[in-house]
Structure 1
Amino acid sequence: MKKITTRLATMDDIDQLADMFDAYRQFYELAPDLALSRQFIRDRMLGSESVLILAEDEEGASAGFCQLYPTFCSLAAAPIYALYDLYVRPEARKLGAGRALLLAAEAHALRNGALRLDLTTAKTNLAAQSLYTALGWQRDDIFYAYSKTLAA
């Protein structure tokens, strides 16, 4: 079994992050667009708008990533992170990469004074839901999530 480690991504990681981000978007049934994926990741990193955590095996091959967006909870009057993107390459699944990324995200949030982490996932993504529950995440059964597309 390959050992998985995590670290904060740097600008040197953009190409491998873009490749995985494009695969992540395709998982959610969007058309492949590597250029868009690269630009999006690059812009987030250059603007310090998100935190990207990279999972790698012991040979340095990328296994997955997660992307956190810093935000706030008005009711608690405290900082939180939205864990918006989490992707593990198919060949790295069942090796602990998802778990390692979630634990690294939690550690990063704690180091930076966040009150909590929030995430959403597809109702059909049962494997991810099982992992979230195993790591102590609690599903919200009280609130509904709504969104409205403003521009195509």
Structure 2
Amino acid sequence: MNIIRAHIEHLDLIVKLFDAYRVFYRKPSNKDAAKQFLFERLKNKDSIIFLAFVNDEAVGFTQLYSSFSSVSMQPIYILNDLFVDENYRKQGIGVALLHKAKQLCRETNYKGLALQTETTNPAQHLYESLGWVKDPDLQYFWTNDALN
């Protein structure tokens, strides 16, 4: 297995995985929109994407967004996406991608990583096995009322 930091030249490889990731979360397949979205993220350096390969085949990715903790006055990464092709799961690829994200935090002196996932996502066991903990002091709230 090999993990690289993805660039625009890897766009088509990421799109296939990103589209499957969205379908996993019950969104309709839309590779054209996925390609445009990812192109913008990479072009504008809005996110960092790590891409995992097995035998020259792209089989997984993680996407990180930079943010800040105002309280600690330090930068953090938000691990927004983690996906491994179903044919390659339980082979350590997700673990390797998470380690790569942690390595980036160390190299860039970021405070840490935050992530959110559905309460039914089986990957929670993976996160917990690697030392991730649910923050007992914080709750996540959401609204899209501002758009109405």
- TM-score (normalised: structure 2): 0.95
* 2:53 aligned partner, one-letter code: E
What's the counterpart of residue 88 of structure 1?
A: 84
Aligned residue for 1:130? 125
Counterpart of 2:76, as a letter, is I
Whether contact under 8 Å (1:18, 1:41) holds in the other structure is: yes
Corresponding residue of 2:20: 23
Q: 1:48 aligns with which of 45, 48, 61?
A: 45
1:80 and 1:115 in contact (8 A); partners too: yes
How far apart in 1 are the matches of 2:92 and 2:106? Answer: 21
Higher mean alpha-carbon deviation, 7-16 vs 40-49, is at 7-16
Aligned partners of 1:8 and 1:43: how far apart in 2?
A: 16
Pairwise CA distance, 1:144: 1.5
In structure 2, what is the Cα distance between the partners aligned to 1:38 and 1:148?
A: 27
- The aligned counterpart of 1:103 is 99
4+ long deviations beyond 6 Å: none
State the 1:142 CA deviation.
2.6
Q: CA deviation at 1:133?
A: 0.9
Counterpart position of 1:74: 70
1:38 aligns with 2:35: yes
For normalisation by structure 1, the TM-score amounts to 0.93
Alignment of 1:104-119 (within 5 A): 104-119=100-115
Identity of aligned residues (%): 34
Q: Tell me, what secondary structure is at the counterpart of 1:56?
A: strand
Q: Deviation at 1:134?
A: 1.1
Secondary structure of 2:87's counterpart equals: helix
2:135 alignment partner AA: D
Could you tell me which amino acid in structure 1 is paired with residue 138 of structure 2?
F
Instruction: Tell me how many residue pairs correspond in the alignment.
Output: 147
Report the aligned-residue RMSD. 1.2
Aligned residues of 1:64 and 1:86 also touching (Cα < 8 A):
yes
What is the identity, as a one-letter code, of the residue corresponding to 2:91?
A: L
Q: 8 Å contact 1:5–1:100 — kept in the other structure? A: no
